[in-house]
Structure 1
Amino acid sequence: MGDKLSKKVISATFATVSFILLYGIIVGIFSSSKEEMFFIIIIFFFALLGNFIYAIPISFLCDALTKYFTKFRFLMSAILHIFFAWITSLGIFAISCAVLFFLMEEWQKRDKLRHLHKKYIAFNGIVLIIIVVSSVYFSFKWVELTEEKTNDYYLIPKGYVGEITVLYNIKNTPPPKRMGDYKVIEINELGYGMTSLPESEGIIENKYLYIDSNGKKEKINDNCVHIGPSGSISGGDGSEFIFSTIKVTDIGCGDEFISSGRMYLENDSLEIEEILQREGLVGDDW
């Protein structure tokens, strides 16, 4: 038992260090920000906990479940290691650690595997690659299918450019309309809207459309929309108003506008304080 445990400690250490090195190299190539480096420290901490506290017991379980397999022990063990990583919902992070852990486990058994035919080893290797790729793919698909989506349907007056503010959880507003799976948020000529609904959370899959006085709609190019910050503000009487902002433009659309929201025209939109006072949600002396 002591020898088996020491080997699994080696596998856990290898998986943790190798994963962090690989992740660090990828981050170093595509980004060098301080935030990313801090994130690596956090990832290292969770990888360490996962590999020692979760992966080692799971590996003992996999050994017990596959000890009676002979010909397909390698593949069954690989599938089990990856499956138990997949169910953690940590995606490619957990799957990568599981594969590295499993490979080190098998490497430490190499003396017992010398008798295996090269074709058998090559077959196992190819199938392992297929299993890993499939598990990563289905991990992303599972997140895509299960994670909440915002699904807000913005109707913005034709020709409006500038910042748009939406206030949530506002009582005595008209019942919210729906457009299929989307919640309609109507924006007025002054660039703001109010809804009794709470702020949507999840993957942003909103639709933004201009609407003219005749009700004709025109989709706004995604390159002309900047997702701004959300926040809350106190009403002074203990009430709290939750809001979110976006910006739309018809000049200077592109990646820069999507990321920064920099406007090239004068922005006459109202501040959140002005909106609250205009709607009578706070007093004039607030």
Structure 2
Amino acid sequence: MGRKLKSALFSTLMLSGFFFLSGVIEGSVGGFSIVVLFFAAVGNFLYGIPVSFLSDILTRKLMKLRFIVAGFIHILFGFLTAFVIEGLGVFAGICSLLFFLFEELQRKNRSQHKVKRKTIFINGIITISLFSLGIYGLWHSMGTNSEKETNQIYLIPSGYEGSIVVYYDVSKEPPLKKEGKFSVIPVKVEKLEALADTDIEQYGITLTSTPMNDEGATINDKYYYVDETGKRTEIDQYCTSYGSNGSFSADDEKEIQYRTLQITKTNCSEQFYLNGKDIYYTQMDEVHDYWRNKISEEN
């Protein structure tokens, strides 16, 4: 049991440490490594250890093939978690490989037949690594083919800063035009009387009869400032902050869905990208209250 506890701890610290060092190199040390540490610890101690005991039971009578079969079991169960935690399944697969290798290293150090065991160990690592790469490639390919993407192009009047709300499936509004696989969202800047004489009086709005059929999909959007001549200037991702999706029922009981977004030109940063700006959330609430009532009355 002690060997398995050490293996769980080692693989947890290795994975979270990798993301911590990556953050240090990129100059953006944040909470992601802590998130990885938490979920890796839960997975390794509550799932990895039982899987390891199962592997011991299933490979107890094997000799030379024990290492490869045990590795297969660990990696397989690691990648099976992709059906539950989806995109995080690759981390589980990596953890399972680290867990297994560290446990085998401890087992090897206690073996008296070091030369023979060393050969089996090296060959096993190569086999397991190739198997892991193959499983990951297959899983990634399946995920890429089946994963939904938002695929939207936002066209925003030049220089605008503030919140943007897009309302979908609104009767009598025009459908979104397409550019290849992307839907084009033309944002209009309007003024809200409730926010008159404030810095957030102007807001961005788009209404369309096109349904929002990609809720929960991977964000694959593009953002452009558009001047009076129609020239587009791409907006850096750190000048955007993706908001939330939601819906409400109009008076005719029709479900109206919406998506929110924040844009800045003067405060672009990782902080804005991740959290947005409080004053824009206040603006968004006022805008949404106004349009929810207006759309409900018109429908």
Is TM-score (shorter-chain normalized) higher than 0.5? yes
Change (3 A) 1:22 1:227: same
1:120 maps onto 2:119 in alignment: yes
Q: Secondary structure of 1:116's match?
A: helix
Deviations 1:184-224 (A, max 9, x none): 22222321112332254233221012334554333223232
Structure 1 SS opposite 2:225: strand
Q: 1:101 to 1:268 in 2, by over 3 A?
A: closer
CA RMSD, 1 decimal:
4.4
Counterpart CA distance in 2 for 1:243 and 1:126 is 50
Structure 2 match to 1:16: 8
Other structure's SS at 2:53 match: helix
Aligned runs of 1:135-150 on 2, under 5 Å?
A: 138=137, 141-142=140-141, 145=144, 146-150=146-150
Which residue is equivalent to 1:166? 166
Change (3 A) 1:27 1:134: closer
1:273 and 2:270 are equivalent in the alignment: no
**Residue identity in the other structure for 2:292:** L
Unaligned runs of 5+ in 2: 24-28, 83-88, 191-203
Residue 86 of structure 1 is matched in structure 2 by 79
Moved more, 123-132 or 252-261: 123-132
d(CA) in 1 for partners of 2:45 and 2:276?
39
Given the superposition, is the C-alpha separation of residues 143 and 264 from structure 1 closer, same or farther in structure 2, using an over 3 Å criterion?
farther
Q: Secondary structure at the match of 2:115?
A: coil
**How many residue pairs were aligned?**
267
Contact 1:11-1:105 within 8 A present in 2 as well: no
Matches within 5 A, 1:230-241: 230-233=245-248, 235=250, 241=256
2:219 to 173, 194, 204: 204
Q: Which amino acid aligns with 2:236?
A: N
**Greater helix share, 1 or 2?**
2
Match of 1:56 among 49, 53, 58: 53
Q: 1:104-155 deviations in whole A, cap 9, x for unaligned?
A: 2564366656153587367448637954984797489558725432222112
For the Cα contact (< 8 Å) 1:12–1:52, is it kept in 2? yes
**How far has the Cα of 1:166 moved from its partner?**
1.1
Structure 1 residues 253 and 103, CA gap change in structure 2 (3 angstroms): closer
Change (3 A) 1:86 1:45: closer
Of 205, 211, 233, 1:192 maps to 205
Q: Distance in 2 between matches of 1:256 and 1:32?
A: 11
Partners of 1:17 and 1:251 lie apart in 2 by 44
SS at match of 2:189: coil
Note the residue ranges of structure 1 that are not aligned, 5 or more in a row: 1-8
Matched, 1:182 2:182: yes
Measured in 1, the distance between the counterparts of 2:3 and 2:98 equals 10
Cα separation, 2, equivalents of 1:245 and 1:213: 24
Per-residue CA deviation, residues 3-45 of structure 1 (Å, 9 max, x unaligned), is xxxxxx5654443344445567678887797x948x8666544
Distance across 1 between alignment mates of 2:117 and 2:56: 26
In structure 1, what is the Cα distance between the partners aligned to 2:70 and 2:10? 20
Q: TM-score, normalised by structure 2?
A: 0.65
Residues 40/139 of structure 1: CA separation in 2 closer, same or farther (3 Å cut)? farther
The one-letter code sitting in structure 1 at the alignment partner of 2:170 is: I
Normalised by the length of structure 1, the TM-score is 0.68
**1:256 Cα offset (Å):** 3.6
Q: Which whole-Å CA distance do the structure 1 matches of 2:59 and 2:74 have between them?
A: 7
SS class of match (2:243)? strand
Shift of 1:75: 4.5
Determine the structure 2 residue equivalent to 1:219.
Answer: 234
For residue 97 of structure 1, what is the aligned residue in structure 2? 96
CA contact (8 A) 1:232 1:240 kept: yes
Deviation at 1:232, TM superposition (A): 4.0
